[in-house]
Amino acid sequence: MSDEERLAELEANASQLLERKEEFRSRLERLRAERDQLNDSVKSLRAEASKEKDKRNQLNDSVAEVKKLIEQLRRTMDEKRGRLDQLDDEREGRSRLPPRWRLEQELQRIEWELSTTPTLEMRDREDQLADRTSELNQALEEHDRLDSELDRRLMSLADSKAVEVEIRGRRDKIQELHEQSQVHHERMLQLYRMADEEKGRADGAHARFVEALNGLKGVDAELDVVMAEVRALRKGVRESDRLVAQERERSAERIKKDLAAEARRKLEAGEKLTLEEMKLIYAEGL
């Protein structure tokens, strides 16, 4: 195979390699864009997941705060129940007292007796009635004290019920916060799963990108070898063409000199010369 044929073969091969190189470049651009888009999607999904996580944590913190408040309310309710138990114990003393109406009735009777009985007749019973009056007044004062305790008990009971209602309300709030937290938690998990799936696709695109890049490098390496031989052959062909041209030039010069010599001979012999022959003689004379 001649150098020209080999050169033509190598140039055809180089053309095919250049086409493959362009295909790899186009594929690399497409895979780079796909990979970058997927990586951006992963970042966006993880950012959204992080926001959902923050919302969930904020709600969980709120739940913890409400639980602390409920504990405080329970301690308050325990204190109020303790006070109610104490008041209930004190109420048991009323059962040992005569009814208020009976005490008041007897006290009125004594006062009536003292106001209507002659002094001489009351002299013997006056101390006894005074003592009884004192006892009756003490019993009525005890009734008054127990009535006051009953009012305090009712108020304490009302406060205790109010605390129970508040605790139930706080428990409902915890349930509401927990449900909201669960929504954000599930949304967070979903976004992280989506991000992981997107990351897998991005990794796949990157692997294909690396594969295409290695293919491009392989084509470049092969093309370098081919082009090195092409350049060497082209250089050889150019040198060969130069030598051929030089040889043709020398051959033409020899022919020209031979023709000029023949023209001078004819001129010296007195033969008729053509215009071309005259030009050769004239050019040589110059």
> What pLDDT digit, counting tens, does each position of 86-108 carry?
655 555 555 567 777 777 787 77
Any alpha helices (H) in the chain, and if so which ranges? 3-91, 100-116, 119-122, 126-268, 275-285
Mean pLDDT over 193-197 rounds to 95
Point out the least confidently predicted range of 16-20, 110-114, 134-138, 257-261: 110-114
Q: Which residue in 42, 35, 36, 15 sits closest to 196, CA to CA?
A: 42
> Average pLDDT over the chain, rounded to whole?
78
State the Cα torsion 4-5-6-7 to the nearest 10°: 50
State the Cα torsion 95-97-100-102 to the nearest 10°: 110
d(CA 91, CA 54): 55
Q: Which residue in 190, 195, 210 sits closest to 38, CA to CA?
A: 195
What confidence category does residue 286 fall into, taking pLDDT thresholds of 50, 70 and 90?
very low
pLDDT given at position 171: 81
Most confident of 51-65, 218-232, 253-267: 51-65
Q: Which two tokens stand for residue 169?
A: 């309300």
Residue 53 has pLDDT above 90, yes or no: yes
What confidence category does residue 41 fall into, taking pLDDT thresholds of 50, 70 and 90?
very high
pLDDT given at position 136: 78
Q: Above pLDDT 90, what percent of the chain?
A: 23
Handedness of CA 275, 280, 282, 283 (dihedral sign): positive
Residue 196 has pLDDT above 80, yes or no: yes
